[in-house]
Structure 1
Amino acid sequence: MPVFLRNTIHLLALLAALTLSAREQTDTLKVLSGIRGADVTVYNLYRENRAADRAKAMEYAELFLSSADTTAAEPLLAAVCDELADWYEYDRSLFSRAIRWRSRSLAIYESLGDRHNEALAQYRLSREYTSLGQYHRALQYVSSAMNYFERTHDTDNLIECYNILGVVYFTCRQYDRAYEWFTRYTDGARMAGDTSRMVLGLNNSAVLAYTLRDTLKARTLIRESGFLSSAVRDTSKLCKVYLNNVSLYLMSGDLQAAASTLETVKPLLRKPDETGLYYQDEGLLLMAAGRLDEAAAALGKAISAFGTGEYGSKIQHCYGILQRIYAMKGEYRNAYQALIRYYEADIANRPDEIFLDFYKVQKELEMSREQEKMSRRQNLVIFLCSIGVLSLVFILILLYGKSKRKSLEIRRQEEEIASQNELIELRKLHDYQIGRMTEELSHKLTELNAGVKDLTTRKKISAICRELVKSKDENEWREMNRFVPAFNSVFYQRLIADFPTLSINERRLCALLNMNMTTKEISEITRQSPHSINIARARLRSKFNLTGKTTSLQEFLSRYNP
């Protein structure tokens, strides 16, 4: 690429970045102007130092938040609070300060109705309360966050909630529940293909198994986690795994494995709690080897490391170990001083009270879940009952509609039958009149025949009379059937399907026309004048859209014949 073109592209990219930065700054200033007490200068100092000097940036962030109205529902304030909370949690291990700022971001997310970030803040609060040893609060927050992650199928964050619950229940000595949550954590990590989490879950379960004196199971879990450890790239999780393994080896008396693992974990130490646990385990290892002076020095380093953060319970544990070391050395004054420090830490932490609060919260959550389950069951019953009632109403409507259609069909059939009966009666009357005329004609011919002297003529007249009588008897029903329309025929059903608005008289006229009857014949059958029949035919042509066409009614109606 030519140098000129490359320089031009770089210049355009720089201008675009500057334009975007200026736009972002304008938007930020607009947001800050709406927050009471927000100092734009301090906020800009915080932004400028984030990359170069994070510690100084956090000082400016805290100064900015201290003067700004953090009750304002602004995502910008929540983001600064979260960053400050992360700083105190991860970089300084000052969990109470992290909780202070995390609680503010949580309140903002609640005001905004941002349920996802609200759940994330609750999970992080549970993690910070766990580190601080306030397990009852940790249980409250992690349960609330987990409910949201379950509903939204947020597997990644849900797995982390499982781990928090496992740690909380393990610390509070509810080992069955701790094992359940550690197992869920491991299974979730296995399904997600996350080796780091899987190793940590197996390792936590191993520690729990050793605590319950299930040595065989613990060793199996350690071997499995050790086999997978080579694929772990998460330094923090790997460090926890190794430190757990050191504790397990110390509990089982395998001092050589403990020493080897301590050497492995040393380059991975980053956080104060990791360093403190390292020196604590080193002190226990040296104490087991009889090197008491070195053990006491290692415990001193552990206490110093824990002292940089809020690790009261861990410091207390170290003083308990120191008291035993000094007692073994015969340094009872130092042992007494370590014991005093131990009880001072005990008073500060009050673990018994924390456990009581934890059990109280646990019972409240269990009752709340039971009430929620009962409410869901009641809602399900109401829903099913509503569905049942709606289904019944729907069925009744269908039955009513079917009954109504059936009633209308019966009425139509009754009208058709009545019309058919009317035709039959008319034809009977017509045939009766023809019969009378035939009888009268036959009688007159008979009388006439009596006065005729020619024998041949008389025979012919007698034959005519017999033919008249015979014709009357044979054709009586045949003629009637011919002129009575078949209202249940295929023709009739097809016609009514296309033209359901035809009146009874119009339907009757169509049936007669379909039999190719003339206007005169129809007039004789229906006892209507030819003029009336012609008017009815004209109306039919209009209904059939035949007006102005050459197609006859008979041709049109023949289309409906089978």
Structure 2
Amino acid sequence: MLVRFFVVVLVFFFLLQGGSAFAQSQSLRDQVNALSAKKYSKSDVAEAKRLLPIVQEHGDFKLTFDLLDWLSDYYTDTGDYKQAMLYSRQAAMAAHQSKDSLRMADGQMNIGMIFFRTDDYEQSNATFRPLIEAYKKLGDTLSAGRVEGNIALNYMRAEKQDTALQLLLRAWATMRKHGSPSDWLAVDRNIGVIYAMTGKPEQGLPYTERSLNTILAQRDTFEFAPAYGNLAYTYQQLGDFKRALPLYDSALYYSRLQEQNAVTYVTLKDIADGYLSIGDYKNALRLFQEYQAVKESVLNENTLNRIAELKVEYETEQQQLALEASEQKVLLLEGEARIRQQRLVLIIIGLFFSLVLGLLVFRQWRRDIRYRATKEKLIAAELANERLTSSLLSTRLENKQGDLTNFALDIERKNKFSRELTDRLGALRKVLPTKLRPQVDDLIRYAQGHEQLNGQLEVVQENIDQVNREFHQKLKKAFPNLTASDRELAGLLRLNMTNKEVATNRGISTASAKMARYRLRKKLNLVPSDDINAFLQDL
């Protein structure tokens, strides 16, 4: 009788566990589906990473693929292609284990797109080619056509325009039959570009016009400027600059409205070339000067953006480290919660079977010993990881300091070139006829307008001050008699700048920089044998 009761309890226990597993599977599917419907955000990524080990442990390969595919798309969109490739390969493996043909094809498609975005055209095409037949066997003709279009883009970037055109024309027929207007747009635009690049604007004109009409119908204002510019360029190649000019005006209007500076300066260059082709040198010169100004502005903006990106990358890395530590704690707590639940079930069963209780307690005791040993190893590993992270952050900080110094010197070289150019133009002005001198004066003012030493050095100094903020606080506390100028000089010397580099940064002569260095040594109470750079770095 006792044995039968024992069997009934075990059957009930396993049924309970099975029902719990089914409910957990459904809950995980709902969570992953909800995640897929969201836009990418940091909280969504954290949630996906939290779910990933749970889904993998559950053994649902289709669900694992869907979650890994979502993470791969996120890192692809953010430009972290190394991380995107890692998740894409894991997703492809999960798709293979699930034996789902469509997921297997989609997984390879993601890998091919990452190769495409990293300019590995041969590897991208090698990944794409088998997918054409794979999608056709699945009855997905539209996806097969999209793969052909992707292969064509690889050939375009590899400057194999004839092969790319053949594939695009074949893909165009598929898209017109099975695709949406968005699919037609991508193919129309690329076919028009290839015809323009290969000197066949009359053949590309219908495709370029159709792509502009599609964009206008979709009211995608961000694409207005490139579309107007492409059609204008096609008319210009056909020799109809009069018809191209209003289209160029529209391209300029929308590019400036959307702050698309790169599109703006390319359009200005094309218009200048158009005026040049009809002999209107005055307008050609005016637009070419505008083109140069916008282009220089974009280059300067990119430089400042890069400095800002370095700061954001550093802050993001700190937040990511904190997030990963928090995720580890959550996983540990969840593991402990599962262990407590198992203990509770074992204790309930043990109340009915005292003989089994002793064995279960003994096994649980051994499990606790292994758990504590594992926990100690994890703590030791986390401590070693924290030390390594601290070392890496120190190294990166030093590299950023070096980048700031090089940036300052680069600005000085640019300004030196600008001054030499101004001097030579001044000498040339003296020997030119009087009627040509106003044009030379315009060039001199244009060159003088590009001297950017003071403004850019202030940006560099702000970044140096931010990097050395903790150092300045320590220096002020240890030597309260130092002036703000002394502390600024100490920050530059701490970056291993020479007297010449200090002079460039502060806008003084090398002799003045040398004298300031000597006075600072005296205020720091250093003897002749002491290295001031090493002293400041160790402070």
**Fold similarity call, TM over 0.5:** no
Higher relative helix content: 2
TM-score range, shorter chain: 0.3 to 0.5
Larger Rg, first or second structure (1 or 2): 1
